[in-house]
Structure 1
Amino acid sequence: MLSSSIQRGIVISQVLAWHFYASPVLADDSAELAKKAQNPIAAMYSLPVQYNWDQKLGPTGDGKRSLTNIQPVLPFSLNADWNLISRTILPVIDQHGLAPRGIADKSGVGDVTQSFFFSPKQPTTSGWILGAGPVLLIPTASDDLLGGEQWGAGPTVVALKQANGWTHGVLANHIWGLEGSPADDKEKINQTFLQPFLSYTTGSFTTFGINSESTYNWQSQEWAVPINLTVTQLLRLGGQPLTVQAGPRYWIESPKDGPQGWGFRVAVTLLFPR
């Protein structure tokens, strides 16, 4: 039988498809809206809710994990030339089978990642959209098994270019743990995150994308490298623009006891253009 996590993912996909399929966005500004939806530092309020399912975790490979990321994006105009873009990631985690006797079976919130990007309102002369600023790791986990139990901070940057339906670029950050002595069973955080991305948006505002959300742990010297393939559709529901996304993911590199093989992603992003 399918696990409850897989069943939830299938139900989510079916509900989204049933509700949103026949409601394409028809507004004249749809092309610009679809373009902004692919820009992680667009000056547009948005609320992405992203569900990820992964398998084969833990020493026995029997573990499964559902990860729902709630990711509000809030832009602030600083002056005529600069924006400040706030990006928050609040993970909601449900994991099972990672350790014997269910001792690691936990559900709750994880640590919040909070990024701030100072971004010029105009692209460079060559068309690049840039942003840079600080990133914070906030120890909000509801259980010590769901977080690092320490504060972290570091720099974050993003660079992307959009032309002729194509969007390509990279988002990166590095976080160092700020605690002098983390909990006995926790290593000090020292990790680099790299997210190269490439997508193409069609005339019907369907976007086909590929990205990797790779993390390198400098303490354990291990990579975590998933490849995500996504299809995203821009829609309108009762006048509210949104995108619906789905696609598989595959782990080409994973740390010890990390996920293996195939997983999948389903996401909905509410868009609030100014």
Structure 2
Amino acid sequence: MKKLNLLIFACLLCSALAIGQEKEQEPQAGADLQSKIQNPIANLISIPFQNNTDFGIGPDNRTRNTLNIQPVIPFTLSENLNLITRTIIPIMSQPVGPSDNEFGLGDISLSLFLTPANPGKIIYGGGLALGLPTATDAYLGSEKWTAGPSIVALYQPTGWTIGTLIQNSWSYAGADDRGDVNFFYSQVFITKNLEKGWYVNTAPIITANWEAPTGEQWTIPLGAGFGKLFRWGKLPINAQAGYYVNLEKPTGGPNSQLRVQATLLFPK
């Protein structure tokens, strides 16, 4: 299943690039949409399908695959305020033991951001990150309800997007026989736009498990990727791929990750 998911998304990316070379966008409309897709709290409905393949897990160098379905739905609360909802629904294939794999749904997370409807040069939002114990197997989730603050800020000078997302979640309910959750999540994202909808970017996801022993808490990757915004008929699609190597990781954690994503966009 994990190989099939990876193959599907690799084919999606290749198709996106090929079609994108044939379908040119109107310059201003394309630039505006490209700016929005690089803003995680833009007033834009989108459905990203992000496939993450982690390599080199454990002493036997196993592979884990996670397909994240991540619908983003904005709501207008007033003339000056928007609510942006970001849900992550993970479908996982997780190594278990020396040779087995567990496949199923992981814990769903929901982020709620309040953002100005008419931001200035610095775009920002803040709110709540919630974790739901929806995993279909104990190996695929924490069996805990979690919550914590989440903030995002970015700056978009001409041709660039530079920003960060930071959150920390704590468990407050759930299975008594499972360990507490105190988890830090952050993403730094830098994107440089190129011609004809192309761009290059880096968006490492830096995490820390504060419940782990000292020296086993941090995962710090380094890498980069590329992507292209194109249209399939009238439907805008953003396709991208990136590769990241973990400079710091817990014992048994993955050595690297391949990230492939296709995002369906529904501009107003």
TM-score, normalised via structure 2 length: 0.92
Deviates more, 1:115-124 or 1:10-19: 10-19
Deviates more, 1:228-237 or 1:23-32: 23-32
| Structure 1 stretches lacking a partner, 5+ long | none
> Are the structure 2 counterparts of residues 11 and 72 from structure 1 closer, same or farther at C-alpha, using a change threshold of 3 Å?
closer
Letter in 1 for 2:170: W
Distance in structure 2 (CA, Å) of the matches to 1:212 and 1:206: 19
> Are the structure 2 counterparts of residues 67 and 110 from structure 1 closer, same or farther at C-alpha, using a change threshold of 3 Å?
same
The equivalent position to 1:115 in structure 2, one of 106, 111, 115, is 111
How far has the Cα of 1:227 moved from its partner?
Answer: 2.8
Give me the identity figure in percent.
Answer: 35
> Are the structure 2 counterparts of residues 203 and 18 from structure 1 closer, same or farther at C-alpha, using a change threshold of 3 Å?
closer
Deviations 1:78-122 (A, max 9, x none): 1010100000011110123x42352xx200111011000000012
Q: CA RMSD in A?
A: 1.7
Distance in structure 2 (CA, Å) of the matches to 1:233 and 1:41: 20
Letter in 2 for 1:199: T
Listed as ranges, the matches of 1:155-194 within 5 Å are 155-179=149-173, 182-184=175-177, 186-194=178-186
Q: Between Structure 1 and Structure 2, how many residues are aligned?
A: 262
> Are the structure 2 counterparts of residues 206 and 112 from structure 1 closer, same or farther at C-alpha, using a change threshold of 3 Å?
same
Regions of 4+ moved over 3 Å: 4-8
The equivalent position to 1:258 in structure 2, one of 247, 253, 265, is 253
| Structure 2 stretches lacking a partner, 5+ long | none
> Are the structure 2 counterparts of residues 44 and 165 from structure 1 closer, same or farther at C-alpha, using a change threshold of 3 Å?
same
Distance in structure 1 (CA, Å) of the matches to 2:159 and 2:231: 20
Q: Which residue of 2 aligns with 1:71?
A: 70
Deviates more, 1:115-124 or 1:146-155: 115-124
> Are the structure 2 counterparts of residues 25 and 83 from structure 1 closer, same or farther at C-alpha, using a change threshold of 3 Å?
farther
Letter in 2 for 1:43: N
> Are the structure 2 counterparts of residues 100 and 13 from structure 1 closer, same or farther at C-alpha, using a change threshold of 3 Å?
closer
Letter in 1 for 2:139: L
How far has the Cα of 1:214 moved from its partner?
Answer: 1.0
Distance in structure 2 (CA, Å) of the matches to 1:31 and 1:151: 40
Residue 244, structure 1, aligned to residue 243, structure 2 = no
> Are the structure 2 counterparts of residues 8 and 85 from structure 1 closer, same or farther at C-alpha, using a change threshold of 3 Å?
closer
Letter in 1 for 2:97: A
> Are the structure 2 counterparts of residues 25 and 85 from structure 1 closer, same or farther at C-alpha, using a change threshold of 3 Å?
farther
Distance in structure 1 (CA, Å) of the matches to 2:119 and 2:24: 26
Distance in structure 1 (CA, Å) of the matches to 2:104 and 2:139: 10
Q: Which residue of 2 aligns with 1:272?
A: 266
Distance in structure 2 (CA, Å) of the matches to 1:109 and 1:74: 21
Q: Which residue of 2 aligns with 1:100?
A: 98
Contact 1:122–1:129 (8 Å) recurs in 2: no
The equivalent position to 2:9 in structure 1, one of 5, 12, 26, is 12
Contact 1:171–1:195 (8 Å) recurs in 2: yes
How far has the Cα of 1:167 moved from its partner?
Answer: 0.3
